[in-house]
A and B are shown apart, each in its own frame.
Chain A
């Protein structure tokens, strides 16, 4: 029994170290000098801790601008998704209107559509609207989605209706009911949807890649991918940039591990 447990720990530790190895390599390389990485005798540790990679990422590349763009765009998308998702989800869950089931079925079916299947017409539409190289062009297609509406509907349906019934009979409008009674009770669902949306927007790559041409408008993901395209790769600088791009998400993940995993398990239907 004891030996079996030892083997189990050994296997798990080995696998966990393998999983963390790329992160360790990223962090250690980011502290190396630019030419130090070009040695045939590979070493893990930098000869001395150098911040020059970070310095170059922040000065030679508009890294802060990329970061700002990513934060700004992801926040707008997240807030908008929460608003449109709550409103639509509430309409589907609680309000009777003609055609409700039909519209809901269309929403449900649309979740099967992969984003690549709609990307060309979306691009043409955004270009016609003159929104290439604009924040509006980066965000507009993602301000609402069938998934948010679906998820909020399911959550609202799981709440007892009696709470609202009393408030409506007392003369509250539906929007007051939503704001004062329902939303305070919906924090877990809002947190899950918000986290999921933010991560999706932060990590999104293909849309910002095609919709942005101007360097100052690029998001972090696109900016990072272009550093890679350089003919003479500056690895410590790229690793420093990768550290800065992944660290905020990793810290957020470590401090709210449960919520992250729940959010992804809860939203797992939508890979």
Chain B
């Protein structure tokens, strides 16, 4: 019986190629070819508006690293990541731990925390823009009622990044919460039960059982959040357009502007590759982490 199974091998190759073909062609055309072509383009002075291009070697990379706006974009992206990831992870871990108890309204809570994840970034960014509107918006309206004059959240360079960070924490909380809820399921019940018998307090349980047992989930969620943070774009485009005074200019928004507003495809490709390299390092760290589990 098994020899007959094996003799079908040649037939199998034909079937396999046929099955793989649609996926493979599209994969080559829109992933493999573009990633190498963008590397190639990054060595040229090229424009989306003209068919000619001139080889410039590493010039695009040199100019890029010396460009003050790009430097600002890198600093802002790091600022954004540091603002979003630790607070977002800590908050969603706390929520997950609370929701892991036997609770009434558990489904309601889970839905409330997860709803922002499924809604579109553009729509919620518009809603937040209106919420943060300095004169008539909700936040400053509430602040005014307790006698505080709220800032121009999105129009004051001192507050604009904070506003974007708050939106992003709110939007992603449910996503990390789900990762943590899955991780909490894997902690053996006996550990917590024996801790209860020994009279351990909730805080001690959290500190000495939950956190160590959840180490890999926390690391995984942190790296995914960091990768996502480096790609932030939608909320910046809608809420601030990189402003005011470049205070929310981030790497992907810079890439978008250079490529599709100034048509500098060679230079923007260099930005794309710098971003790709940074994300690659994080992804490799993530893979190593998953393997070590």
**Interface of chain B, helix or strand or loop or mixed?**
helix
Contact of B114 with A by CB under 8 A: yes
Contact of B189 with A by CB under 8 A: no
Q: How many angstroms from the CA of A116 to the CA of B256 in the assembled complex?
A: 9
A19-B116 contact, Cβ under 8 Å, with A110-B32, A144-B27: yes
Chain B window 14-38, contacts with chain A (Cβ cutoff 8 Å), 1 for yes, 0 for no: 0111011011101101111111011
Q: How many angstroms from the CA of A4 to the CA of B35 in the assembled complex?
A: 54
Asked if residues A19 and B122 are in contact (CB atoms below 8 Å), the reply is: no
Size range of the chain A interface in the assembly: 35 or more
Contact of B164 with A by CB under 8 A: no
Asked if residues B136 and A38 are in contact (CB atoms below 8 Å), the reply is: yes
Shortest Cβ distance from B185 into chain A, in angstroms? 11
Contact of A246 with B by CB under 8 A: yes
Asked if residues A261 and B110 are in contact (CB atoms below 8 Å), the reply is: yes
Which listed residue, B15, B108, B141, B255, touches A116 by the CB 8 Å rule?
Answer: B255
Size range of the chain B interface in the assembly: 35 or more
Contact of A118 with B by CB under 8 A: yes
A-B contacts counted at CB < 8 A amount to 283
Asked if residues B113 and A84 are in contact (CB atoms below 8 Å), the reply is: no
Contact of B159 with A by CB under 8 A: no
Which listed residue, A4, A20, A118, A220, touches B30 by the CB 8 Å rule?
Answer: A118
Asked if residues B120 and A253 are in contact (CB atoms below 8 Å), the reply is: no
Asked if residues A265 and B22 are in contact (CB atoms below 8 Å), the reply is: no
A205-B8 contact, Cβ under 8 Å, with A91-B20, A140-B30, A268-B224: no
Contact of B9 with A by CB under 8 A: yes
18 A-B pairs besides A12-B95, A239-B126 with CB distance below 8 A are A12-B109, A26-B130, A37-B136, A42-B144, A97-B12, A110-B31, A113-B35, A114-B227, A116-B233, A118-B38, A118-B272, A174-B19, A221-B120, A238-B130, A246-B123, A253-B115, A260-B114, A271-B224
- List A contacts of B99 (CB < 8 A): 12
Asked if residues A120 and B38 are in contact (CB atoms below 8 Å), the reply is: yes
**Interface of chain A, helix or strand or loop or mixed?**
helix
> A residues engaging B (CB < 8 A)?
4, 8-9, 11-12, 15-16, 19-23, 25-26, 29, 37-42, 83-85, 87-88, 90-92, 95-98, 100, 103, 106-107, 110, 112-114, 116-125, 140-141, 143-146, 148-149, 165, 168-169, 173-175, 199, 202-203, 205-206, 209-210, 220-222, 224-225, 227-228, 233, 235, 238-239, 242, 245-246, 249-250, 253-254, 257, 260-261, 264-265, 268, 271
